[in-house]
Amino acid sequence: MEIRAGLSHALGAAQTALQHAQQAAAAADEHRRRVTDAVTGRRRKLSAARDQRIADIVSWHDTELAALAGAAAAAADRAAPGAAGEPWHSWEVTPLAKAAELRVGRLLLPEAPHPHPERTQRAEPSPWATAPGTPREPAEPLPDDDQPEVPALVPLLDHGHVVVGGDDRLADELVASLLLRALGTSAAGMVQIVGYDPEHLGGGLAGFAPLATAGVLTFAGPSELPALLEDMVGHVRRINEKVLAGEYASLRELHAVTKRRPEPWRVAVLLGAPELSRHERSQLDRLLRTGAACGVHLVIHGLAVEPGPGIEFVHAAPGDDARVAGAGDLPVRLDPGPPPGVLTATCRQIAEAVAAGPAPVALESLLPEAGQEWQESAAAALTAPLGDSPQGSTVRVTLSDYPPHALIAGPSGTGKTNFIYAWLGALAARYSPAELAFYLLDFKEGVSFARFAPGRRDPSWMPHVRLVGVNVNTDREFGLALLRFLGGELRRRADAAKQHEVTNLAELRAEDPEGSWPRIVAVVDEFQVLLSGRDAVAAEAVDLLEDLARRGRSQGIHLVLASQDVSGIEALWGRPALVAQFSLRIALPKARRVLAEQNNAADTLPRYHAVVNADSGAASANQVVRVPAAGDRDQWSALQHRLWRKRPAELGPPRLFDGDVVPRLAESPDFRALRPSESPAAPIALLGETIDVTARSARTVLRRAPGRNLAVLGTRVDEACAVLATAARSLAAQFEPDGARFSVVCLDQDAQAAAEALHARIPECGWYDSENVDWLLEDAAAEATAAWPADRPHFILIYAADALPGGKAAADQLRTVLRQGPERRLHVLGWWRGAGLLRDSLGGHASRTDPIGAWVALDVHGSELAPFYPGAGAPNWYPRPWRALHFDRSVHRGAEVIIPYGTS
Ligand X SMILES: Nc1ncnc2c1ncn2[C@@H]1O[C@H](COP(=O)(O)OP(=O)(O)OP(=O)(O)O)[C@@H](O)[C@H]1O
Would you call 44 exposed, middle or buried from its count of C-beta atoms within 10 A (0-12, 13-18, 19+)? Answer: exposed
726 is in an annotated binding site: no
Instruction: List Cβ neighbours of 486 (8 Å cut-off, separation of 6 or more).
Output: 439, 520, 522, 544, 548, 552, 557
* DSSP string over 95-152: --SS---EEEEEE--SS-----HHHHH--SS-GGGSPTT---PPP----GGGSPP-EE
Does 894 help bind ligand X (rule: CB under 6 A)?
no
Query: Do 204 and 219 contact (CB within 8 A), yes or no?
Result: no
Tell me how far, at minimum, the Cβ of 624 lies from ligand X, in Å. 13
Q: Which of 120, 177, 414, 841 binds ligand X (CB under 6 A)?
A: 414
Would you call 657 exposed, middle or buried from its count of C-beta atoms within 10 A (0-12, 13-18, 19+)? Answer: buried
126 is in an annotated binding site: no
Q: Which of 454, 631, 739, 836 binds ligand X (CB under 6 A)?
A: 631
Query: Do 202 and 219 contact (CB within 8 A), yes or no?
Result: yes
Instruction: List Cβ neighbours of 213 (8 Å cut-off, separation of 6 or more).
Output: 351, 355
Tell me how far, at minimum, the Cβ of 613 lies from ligand X, in Å. 18
Tell me how far, at minimum, the Cβ of 361 lies from ligand X, in Å. 7
Q: From residue 251, how far is each of 193, 297, 474, 540, 543 by CA, in Å?
A: 18, 13, 54, 55, 53
Longest dimension (CA), the chain: 218
Does 258 help bind ligand X (rule: CB under 6 A)?
no
904 is in an annotated binding site: no
Does 417 help bind ligand X (rule: CB under 6 A)?
yes
413 is in an annotated binding site: yes
Which helix H or strand E contains 315, and what residues bound it? strand 311-316
Rank residues 411 and 862 by Cβ distance to ligand X and give the closer one: 411
Does 63 help bind ligand X (rule: CB under 6 A)?
no
In whole angstroms, give the CA distance from residue 466 to residue 135. Answer: 84
Tell me how far, at minimum, the Cβ of 562 lies from ligand X, in Å. 8
Does 589 help bind ligand X (rule: CB under 6 A)?
no
Each residue 507-546 as x (binds ligand X by CB under 6 A) or -, in order, gives ----------------------------------------
Tell me how far, at minimum, the Cβ of 350 lies from ligand X, in Å. 20
Does 416 help bind ligand X (rule: CB under 6 A)?
yes
Neighbouring CB atoms inside 10 A of 563's CB total 26
Tell me how far, at minimum, the Cβ of 609 lies from ligand X, in Å. 8
Rank residues 414 and 581 by Cβ distance to ligand X and give the closer one: 414
Does 451 help bind ligand X (rule: CB under 6 A)?
no
Tell me how far, at minimum, the Cβ of 523 lies from ligand X, in Å. 12
Which helix H or strand E contains 212, and what residues bound it? helix 210-213
Tell me how far, at minimum, the Cβ of 630 lies from ligand X, in Å. 7
In terms of C-beta distances under 8 Å and separation of at least 24 residues, what long-range contacts does 325-330 make, across chains too?
Answer: 326/153, 326/154, 326/155, 327/107, 327/152, 330/107, 330/108, 330/109, 330/110, 330/152
Q: From residue 59, how far is each of 111, 134, 140, 362 by CA, in Å?
A: 13, 10, 10, 57
Query: Do 665 and 484 contact (CB within 8 A), yes or no?
Result: no
Q: Which range in 251-259, 413-421, 750-758, 760-768 contacts ligand X by CB under 6 A?
A: 413-421
Does 412 help bind ligand X (rule: CB under 6 A)?
yes
In whole angstroms, give the CA distance from residue 9 to residue 663. Answer: 165
Rank residues 447 and 651 by Cβ distance to ligand X and give the closer one: 447
Query: Do 516 and 508 contact (CB within 8 A), yes or no?
Result: no
Does 606 help bind ligand X (rule: CB under 6 A)?
no
Q: Which range in 216-224, 415-423, 536-544, 675-683 contacts ligand X by CB under 6 A?
A: 415-423
Does 418 help bind ligand X (rule: CB under 6 A)?
yes
Q: Which range in 308-316, 409-417, 718-726, 889-897 contacts ligand X by CB under 6 A?
A: 409-417
Each residue 360-399 as x (binds ligand X by CB under 6 A) or -, in order, gives x---------------------------------------
Rank residues 628 and 654 by Cβ distance to ligand X and give the closer one: 628
Q: For strand 609-613 and strand 584-587, is the pairing parallel, antiparallel, or unpaired?
A: antiparallel
Tell me how far, at minimum, the Cβ of 412 lies from ligand X, in Å. 3
Q: Which of 91, 374, 527, 608 binds ligand X (CB under 6 A)?
A: 608
Q: From residue 610, how far is each of 181, 398, 415, 590, 605 by CA, in Å?
A: 33, 15, 9, 10, 7
Q: Residue with CB nearest ligand X? A: 415
Rank residues 384 and 693 by Cβ distance to ligand X and give the closer one: 384
Rank residues 151 and 589 by Cβ distance to ligand X and give the closer one: 589
Rank residues 415 and 900 by Cβ distance to ligand X and give the closer one: 415
Query: How many residues form the binding site for ligand X (CB under 6 A)?
Result: 15
Query: Do 197 and 219 contact (CB within 8 A), yes or no?
Result: yes
* DSSP string over 267-299: EEEEE--SPPPHHHHHHHHHHHHHTGGGTEEEE
> How many helices, marked H, and strands, marked E, lie in the chain?
22, 31
Rank residues 422 and 798 by Cβ distance to ligand X and give the closer one: 422
Rank residues 607 and 892 by Cβ distance to ligand X and give the closer one: 607
In whole angstroms, give the CA distance from residue 193 to residue 789. Answer: 98
410 is in an annotated binding site: yes
Query: Do 271 and 199 contact (CB within 8 A), yes or no?
Result: yes
Rank residues 40 and 412 by Cβ distance to ligand X and give the closer one: 412
Neighbouring CB atoms inside 10 A of 550's CB total 16
Does 627 help bind ligand X (rule: CB under 6 A)?
yes
Residue 878, Cα to own-chain centre: how many angstroms? 39
Neighbouring CB atoms inside 10 A of 125's CB total 8
Rank residues 352 and 736 by Cβ distance to ligand X and give the closer one: 352
Rank residues 442 and 692 by Cβ distance to ligand X and give the closer one: 442
Does 564 help bind ligand X (rule: CB under 6 A)?
yes
Does 358 help bind ligand X (rule: CB under 6 A)?
no
Among residue numbers 118 through 147, which ones bind ligand X (CB under 6 A)?
none
In whole angstroms, give the CA distance from residue 177 to residue 343. Answer: 9
Q: For strand 854-857 and strand 191-196, is the pairing parallel, antiparallel, or unpaired?
A: unpaired
Rank residues 360 and 879 by Cβ distance to ligand X and give the closer one: 360
417 is in an annotated binding site: yes
Residues annotated within a binding site? 410-417
Residues annotated within a binding site for ATP? 410-417
Residues that bind ligand X (CB under 6 A): 360, 410, 412-418, 564, 608, 627-629, 631
